[in-house]
Structure 1
Amino acid sequence: MSPLITAADLADAGEVTVLDVRFRLTASAGGPTGASLYAEGHIPGAAFCDLDADLAAPPGSGGRHPLPSAESFEEAMRRLGVRAGRMVAVYDDADSTAAARAWWTLRYFGHSDVRVLDGGFRAWTEAGLSVTRETEQPPRGDFTARPGGMPILTADEAGSLAKTGLLLDARAAERYRGEVEPIDPVAGHVPGAVNAPTAANVGPDGRFLTSASLRSRFTGLGAREGVEVGAYCGSGVTAAHEVLALELAGIPAALYVGSWSHWLTDPTRPVATG
């Protein structure tokens, strides 16, 4: 079963819980928020899922987007109408970066049928499908959060994997090299990690590349049978996109949820540049 769904298939899906996960890093600087984009227009029946509040714990020692507790995530998903036996479809603007975090978190906490709208809201509108500004409170769901549905890495495990397997850094190349760091206090990467920016997982339309293309990309970076693979980014959001792309390629991978923002909380952890 593919973790992706097309706009046409979603429109015909029948009983499905749809979550709008649009997100803007620029919101703190006065730019539009995901909630404001949702209010301007969204897929009919979709509920707005706040990445910061619903898909992560508050920032702190665990990083900028640490894993939420099972209790808080369960309550958030029930409020948004998520049910155990019903498919959940998640979407963002186009490239599925934020939607992939929702996909991964739901899968981690035990929901077995989660699909990402390939191409996001852009694909929906380009298909000529209806959009609404009406907000309806979905009936309360019955989802029960059971951690452990997806593999995760601790900081120590990520550092070891960079030496013994393949640890992919999903950030832009200039951040990986340590040339710029617009968010975190120290620039650079986990020593031994291999750069694999998530932007290369999708085409100009925001849709994922074919499974064959993704597999070729990741095998070229060192993924092969018998090699353990993991991914990290700045705060565990774009790295979830990397894990999704790896799944499409048929390559299982673990997520270092705290990622670089957590790595830096311990000043004794090494930092590489270049």
Structure 2
Amino acid sequence: MTDGPLISPDQLAAELDDVTVLDVRYLMGGPPGREEHAAGHVPGAAYVDLDEDLADPPGAGGRHPLPDEQRFEAAMQRVGVRADRPVVVYDDWQGRAAARAWWLLRHHGHDDVRVLDGGWTAWQDDGHPVEVGETSVDPGDFTVSADKQMAVVGADDVLDVDVLIDARAGDRFRGETEPVDPVAGHIPGAVNVPTTENLDERGRFRSADELYATYARVGATSSGSVAAYCGSGVTAAHDVLALAAAGVDSALYPGSWSGWITDPARPVETG
């Protein structure tokens, strides 16, 4: 087991022969990152498509519902994930897509998963080797566990959470703008901690003490229930990851705002 959910580029370089690395490069609304992976990646890293492997099709569960368990299991086996081998995930979105993969693997029973702090940019900036072309890996043996390791809240109980965190940018939280979903605003009672607040000026996660202070300011500590949501359930995992790095357990509302607003009877708050 690891001491925390993050790993530095130098640490990964030292452990590279002993871990399974997954490249989850993704751009919301843009093309998949497969071409970027082929152009250069962490040596040995297999590519994971967020839309295809880490989410179900859009619907009542939002824009990125949690993936069907059997399909997720098959995808992780295809990219070489093993139950007895640590996994490191990275992206080029400051950890937002990688956090989704981290959360899903942890949720479905893998005990040792970390996110590369700073992602692809940090790996290159720190001078580590780059591999090009397609990656061939041996199939893994990862199986989805019936015992879920990460907490989830649904639409029926999300309003009962003591501290509900909205991970979107402040203008979307307040309902001043909504570039993606058909309704603007936030879930009543939520507090706003944008994912940008988890990061320093280099795009790497702030220290555990800094992260704890950031979330304590909105009341998110170990003294009550905490959950996070975002637009579609992807970037909220970034806040869950930051809270984990700070030593605070939290749940994910997978449907998030895009799922919440599929029922017009659910209340909406602005400001």
- The interval holding the TM-score normalised by the smaller chain is over 0.9
TM-superposition CA deviations, 1:79-133 (whole Å, max 9, x none):
0100000000000115101100000010011001001000101111111111121
Residue 7 of structure 2: which of 5, 12, 18 is its match?
5
Q: Distance in 1 between matches of 2:202 and 2:184?
A: 30
CA contact (8 A) 1:7 1:123 kept: yes
Q: Distance in 1 between matches of 2:214 and 2:52?
A: 33
Taking structure 1 as reference, are residues 225 and 2 closer, same or farther at Cα in structure 2, changes over 3 Å only?
A: closer
1:39 shift after superposition: 1.8
Aligned to 1:19: 22
Aligned to 1:202: 199
Taking structure 1 as reference, are residues 61 and 139 closer, same or farther at Cα in structure 2, changes over 3 Å only?
A: same
Taking structure 1 as reference, are residues 100 and 191 closer, same or farther at Cα in structure 2, changes over 3 Å only?
A: same
CA contact (8 A) 2:32 2:49 kept: no
Q: Distance in 1 between matches of 2:213 and 2:28?
A: 31
Give TM-score, length-normalised by structure 1.
Answer: 0.95
- Structure 1 unmatched runs, 5+: none
Q: SS of the residue aligned with 2:121? A: helix
Matches within 5 A, 1:26-175: 26-27=29-30, 32-93=31-92, 95-147=94-146, 148-161=148-161, 165-175=162-172
Structure 1's consecutive aligned runs of 4 or more residues displaced over 2 angstroms after TM superposition are none
1:59 shift after superposition: 1.1
Q: Distance in 2 between matches of 1:112 and 1:185?
A: 38
Matches within 5 A, 1:234-273: 234-273=231-270
TM-superposition CA deviations, 1:107-161 (whole Å, max 9, x none):
0110010010001011111111111212122100000011511000001211222
What amino acid is the match of 1:17? T
Between the two proteins, the alignment pairs up a number of residues equal to 267
What amino acid is the match of 2:74? E
Higher alpha-carbon deviation: 88-97 or 239-248 = 88-97
Let me know the Cα RMSD of the aligned residues.
1.1
Q: Distance in 2 between matches of 1:185 and 1:235?
A: 13
Q: Distance in 2 between matches of 1:46 and 1:100?
A: 16
Give TM-score, length-normalised by structure 2.
Answer: 0.96
TM-superposition CA deviations, 1:155-200 (whole Å, max 9, x none):
1211222xxx100000000000001111111000000000110111
Taking structure 1 as reference, are residues 91 and 153 closer, same or farther at Cα in structure 2, changes over 3 Å only?
A: same
CA contact (8 A) 2:34 2:49 kept: yes
Q: SS of the residue aligned with 1:25? A: coil
What amino acid is the match of 2:68? S
Q: SS of the residue aligned with 2:115? A: strand
Q: SS of the residue aligned with 1:155? A: coil
Q: Distance in 2 between matches of 1:234 and 1:80?
A: 28
CA contact (8 A) 1:94 1:122 kept: no
CA contact (8 A) 1:94 1:207 kept: no
CA contact (8 A) 1:94 1:118 kept: no
